């Protein structure tokens, strides 16, 4: 595991299950049992009805690129030496169109396209934390 120099998520009471799943390299989202709506980011009151009857659901981890940008200039620690890199919104399969901010990795930035099929993979920060990112997948 190489040293993680980028910002580390500050895990809180509501995000803990999400990040714990990521540590196991599994992607989970919450869904409201009353509204039947998936949502992101994680929170324990449904953003449609404010109800607390919400469940964690494991996703396939597949998605498509909704939009992206190739970043060439970044002053932040951990990113400065990584440019150019790809920041994207990925639309997550099976969620009714929920989009998640992420990086697209393991490909030439010039090959990234809107609509491109991708799948989740994880970058281990340490023994406690892993960050979900996406890489190209076959159709």
Partner 1 sequence: MHFSRQAAIVGVHEHETRWAPDKTDFQLAAESARAALADAGLTLKDVDGYFVAGVSGMAPALMCEHLNIRPKVVDSTSIGGTSFLAHAAHAASAIATGRCEVALITYGSTAASRGVAVGTGGRAGYEIPEQYELPYGLTTVAAYALCAQRHMHEFGTTSEQLAEIAVTFRRHASLNPHAKYREPITVEDVLASRMISSPLHLLDCCIISDGAGAVVMTSAARARDCAKPPVWLLGAGETVFHPEAGKRDFMRMAASQTGPIALGQAGVRLEDIDLCMIYDSFTITVLMTLENLGFCKIGEGGAFVSGGRLALDGELPTNTDGGGLSSNHPGMRGIFLIIEATRQLRGECGPRQVPNCRLALAHGTGGTLGTRHGGVTLILGRD
Chain residues binding partner 1 by CB under 8 A are 6-12, 14-15, 37-41, 47-48, 66-79, 82, 85, 87-89, 92, 95-103, 114, 131, 133
First to last CA, the chain: 30
CB of 90 to partner 1, least distance (A): 10
Among 36, 57, 32, residue whose Cα is nearest residue 44:
32
Which of residues 24 and 114 has its CB atom nearest to partner 1 in the complex? 114
Q: Give Rg (Cα) of the chain.
A: 16
CB of 126 to partner 1, least distance (A): 13
Token pair for 122? 């994880």
How many residues are given for the chain? 139
CB of 138 to partner 1, least distance (A): 22
Which of residues 89 and 136 has its CB atom nearest to partner 1 in the complex? 89
Which of residues 38 and 136 has its CB atom nearest to partner 1 in the complex? 38
Contact 30, 55 (CB under 8 A): yes
In this structure, what DSSP letter does residue 56 have?
E
CB of 137 to partner 1, least distance (A): 19
């Amino acid at each position: 595991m190489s040293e993680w120099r980028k910002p580390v998520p500050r895990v809180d009471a509501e995000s803990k299950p999400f990040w714990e799943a990521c540590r196991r390299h599994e992607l989970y989202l919450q869904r409201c049992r009353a509204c039947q709506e998936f949502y992101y980011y994680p929170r324990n009151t449904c953003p449609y009805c404010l109800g607390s009857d919400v469940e964690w659901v494991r996703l396939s981890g597949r998605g498509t690129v909704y939009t992206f940008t190739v970043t060439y200039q970044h002053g932040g620690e951990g990113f400065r030496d990584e440019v150019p890199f790809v920041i994207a919104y990925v639309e997550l399969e099976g969620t009714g169109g929920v989009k998640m901010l992420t990086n697209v990795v393991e490909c030439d930035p010039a090959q990234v396209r809107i609509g491109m099929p991708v799948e989740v993979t994880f970058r281990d920060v340490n023994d406690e934390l892993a960050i979900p990112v996406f890489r190209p997948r076959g159709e």
